[in-house]
């Protein structure tokens, strides 16, 4: 991180911390850097979510959306370098008391302008709330945190989204019903909650009993405070309509007299070329591979050597490990033989890993493949150890290190064996291993 100097922590979550930082390259320009623990997101299978967040933030460049400047990565961390918004959360302003109608309208107009732009790009936020709205030093709103966002391509064949997510007091009733929902209409509902809170200073649907709160949301039961104008009441009734089919659309909302008063659409910046987003998506998760290549450019991958006893122990008929270990667990493994050099074996394993979305680590003759998705028993992890048994003769032992055995066997049958057939012989029999040892 020679390009940025980290400062105080602005916030933190389960997998990330956000720091205030300044650029050492551009006159100490302030930025916010979100530091994500790569190991944690790999372990719980959040890789695709992080990739999607990067892609979406590159896609939704709007004056009222927090901008992503660049993405960097190390072996253990992913760094989002983002626009620094000095004013903090809009929530903190409302916590001091409700806003005047003209102030609330200005903020609401900016939120709707940003969300309308996101929808035009096929992006649905799905977690709109005051805590995810920031205010800059010129008193303009910035929509942040696209971690739960979805894109149009995520819709199923019915044209709806089906992932239940969001913050309970802001979530649309159709999401609670868990029957599929339109991402744009669900965002409109959340915007209605935001408008109510800006003007009232409290949430329209709240109950200490979560199920009772969900019941109120499903029926659209809320009470307007006495200071709400008639125009605001009518608009909220259209925004907080529990029926998504009759709920007001953003297009109609923008034409509404209350909303349209002194409305000034944001001036759009020039949009960058799309390849930038693809580059950032790749860099966040390719660093391990690049670092490994750099480390091993001066030191070639050296396979372990096998003596006669080692070779015999690989044979199922002559496995003597039971005599040496009182409690020997059954090892799920596959054996392959080849005359190709270790570098060719490693390259082939890397190709398989890239195709099947595994992460690769290499050390001391062992290639470790770690699945990017959570399986029935956690992430599938496979160790491939390369042994040199004679000149130009190698044995590759592939072992399940973690995860579900059935998933491991499926991977070996459908992906590993077919992919290795060009460089490896079929799994060696006991006779073949014995003949090598002789």
Cβ atoms of residues 372 and 47 within 8 Å: yes
Cβ atoms of residues 269 and 61 within 8 Å: yes
Of the residues 207, 232, 266, the one at which a domain ends: 266
List C-alpha distances in Å: 19 to 9, 24, 83, 93, 303: 4, 15, 11, 22, 43
pLDDT at 316: 46
pLDDT at 286: 60
- Give the angle 13-375-366 at the CA atoms, nearest 5°: 95
d(CA 280, CA 203): 38
Do 118 and 259 lie in one domain? The reply is: yes
Do 215 and 318 lie in one domain? The reply is: no
d(CA 342, CA 302): 7
- The CATH number of the domain holding residue 326 is 3.30.310.80
In terms of residue numbers, what domain contains 2? 1-84
Do 175 and 229 lie in one domain? The reply is: yes
Of the residues 27, 56, 84, the one at which a domain ends: 84
How many Cβ atoms sit within 10 Å of the Cβ of residue 283?
16
Do 124 and 231 lie in one domain? The reply is: yes
> What is the mean pLDDT of the segment spanning 154-167?
85
Instruction: Check 27, 37, 116, 127 and give the catalytic one.
Output: 127
Cβ atoms of residues 235 and 256 within 8 Å: yes
Residue 274 lies inside a defined structural domain of this protein: no
- Burial pattern 414-426, b for ≥16 Cβ within 10 A else e, equals eebbebbeebbee
Residue 404 lies inside a defined structural domain of this protein: yes
**Does residue 297 or residue 149 have the better pLDDT?**
149
β-sheet bridge partners, residue 387? 304, 395
Residue 281 lies inside a defined structural domain of this protein: no
pTM greater than the 0.85 cutoff: no
pLDDT at 64 over 60: yes
Q: How confident is the model at residue 182 (pLDDT cuts 50, 70, 90)?
A: very high
Q: Biggest alpha carbon distance in the chain?
A: 94
Do 93 and 206 lie in one domain? The reply is: yes
List C-alpha distances in Å: 423 to 139, 398, 426: 63, 15, 10
Q: Is 127 a catalytic residue?
A: yes
pLDDT at 50: 87
Do 41 and 158 lie in one domain? The reply is: no
Do 10 and 118 lie in one domain? The reply is: no
pLDDT tens digits for 385-438?
Answer: 877 766 567 778 888 888 888 888 888 888 787 877 766 655 444 444 444 444
Residue 248 lies inside a defined structural domain of this protein: yes
Bridge pairing between strands 304-305 and 378-390: parallel
d(CA 3, CA 19): 14
Query: 136: exposed, middle or buried (C-beta count within 10 Å: 0-12, 13-18, 19+)?
Result: middle
Do 95 and 42 lie in one domain? The reply is: no
Q: Which helix (H) or strand (E) holds 191?
A: helix 183-200
d(CA 21, CA 408): 44
pLDDT at 321: 42
Do 63 and 90 lie in one domain? The reply is: no
Do 178 and 292 lie in one domain? The reply is: no
- The CATH number of the domain holding residue 67 is 3.30.200.20
Cβ atoms of residues 81 and 70 within 8 Å: yes
d(CA 176, CA 215): 10
Do 78 and 103 lie in one domain? The reply is: no
Residue 280 lies inside a defined structural domain of this protein: no
pLDDT tens digits for 213-252?
Answer: 999 999 999 999 999 999 999 999 999 999 999 999 999 9
**Distance between start and end Cα atoms, the chain:** 55
d(CA 187, CA 126): 6
How many Cβ atoms sit within 10 Å of the Cβ of residue 79?
21
Give the percent of the chain with pLDDT over 70: 79
Of the residues 55, 84, 113, the one at which a domain ends: 84
Q: How confident is the model at residue 382 (pLDDT cuts 50, 70, 90)?
A: confident
Q: Considering just the CA atoms, what is the radius of gyration of the chain in Å?
A: 28
How many Cβ atoms sit within 10 Å of the Cβ of residue 145?
19
For the ranges 39-43, 121-125, 126-130, 165-169, the lowest mean pLDDT is seen at 39-43
**Does residue 391 or residue 107 have the better pLDDT?**
107
pLDDT at 213: 95
Residue 45 lies inside a defined structural domain of this protein: yes
pLDDT at 272: 54
How many Cβ atoms sit within 10 Å of the Cβ of residue 409?
14
pLDDT at 331: 54
pLDDT at 297: 34
Residue 247 lies inside a defined structural domain of this protein: yes
Do 348 and 241 lie in one domain? The reply is: no
List C-alpha distances in Å: 402 to 7, 335, 395, 396, 408: 39, 18, 22, 18, 9
Cβ atoms of residues 82 and 31 within 8 Å: yes
Residue 282 lies inside a defined structural domain of this protein: no
State how many domains the chain has.
3
Residues 6+ apart with CB under 8 A from 111: 64, 128, 133, 141, 143, 191, 194
Closest by CA to 203, choosing from 124, 98, 307, 55, is: 98
């Amino acid at each position: 991180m020679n390009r940025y100097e980290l400062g105080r922590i602005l916030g933190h979550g389960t997998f990330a911390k956000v720091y205030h930082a300044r650029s050492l390259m551009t006159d100490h320009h302030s930025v916010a850097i979100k530091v994500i623990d790569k190991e944690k997101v790999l372990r719980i299978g959040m890789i695709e979510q992080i990739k999607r967040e990067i892609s979406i933030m590159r896609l939704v460049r709007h004056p009222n959306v927090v901008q992503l400047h660049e993405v960097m990565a190390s072996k253990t961390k992913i760094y989002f370098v983002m626009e620094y918004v000095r004013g903090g959360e809009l929530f903190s302003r409302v916590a001091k008391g409700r806003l005047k109608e003209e102030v609330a309208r200005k903020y609401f107009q900016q939120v709707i302008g940003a969300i309308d732009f996101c929808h035009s790009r096929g992006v649905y936020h799905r977690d709109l709330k005051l805590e995810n709205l920031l205010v800059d030093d010129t008193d303009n709103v910035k929509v942040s945190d696209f971690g739960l966002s979805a894109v149009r391509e995520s819709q199923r064949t019915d044209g709806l989204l089906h992932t239940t997510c969001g913050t309970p007091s802001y979530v649309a009733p159709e999401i609670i019903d868990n029957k599929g929902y339109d991402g744009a209409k669900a965002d409109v509902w959340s915007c209605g909650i935001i408008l109510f809170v800006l003007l009232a200073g409290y949430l329209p649907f709240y109950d200490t009993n979560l199920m009772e709160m969900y019941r109120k949301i499903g029926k659209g039961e809320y009470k307007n405070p006495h200071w709400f104008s008639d125009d605001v009441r009518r608009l909220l009734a259209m925004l907080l309509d529990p029926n998504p089919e009759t709920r007001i659309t953003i297009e109609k909302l923008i034409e509404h007299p209350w909303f349209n008063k002194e409305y000034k659409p944001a001036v759009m910046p020039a949009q960058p070329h799309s390849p930038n987003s693809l580059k950032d998506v790749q860099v966040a998760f390719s660093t391990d591979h690049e670092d490994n290549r750099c480390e091993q450019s001066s030191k070639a991958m050296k396979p372990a050597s096998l003596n006669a006893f080692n070779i015999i122990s690989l044979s199922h008929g002559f496995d003597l490990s039971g005599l040496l270990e009182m409690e020997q667990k059954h090892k799920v493994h596959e054996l392959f033989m080849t005359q190709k050099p270790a570098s060719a074996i490693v390259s082939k394993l890397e190709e398989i890993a890239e195709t099947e979305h595994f992460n690769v680590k290499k050390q001391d003759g062992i290639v470790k493949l770690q699945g990017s998705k959570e399986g029935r028993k956690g992430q599938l992890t496979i160790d491939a150890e390369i042994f040199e048994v004679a000149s130009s003769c190698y044995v590759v032992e592939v072992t399940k290190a973690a995860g579900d055995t059935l998933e491991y066997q499926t991977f070996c049958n459908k992906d590993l064996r077919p992919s290795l057939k060009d460089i490896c012989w079929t799994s060696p029999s006991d006779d073949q291993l014995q003949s090598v040892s002789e």
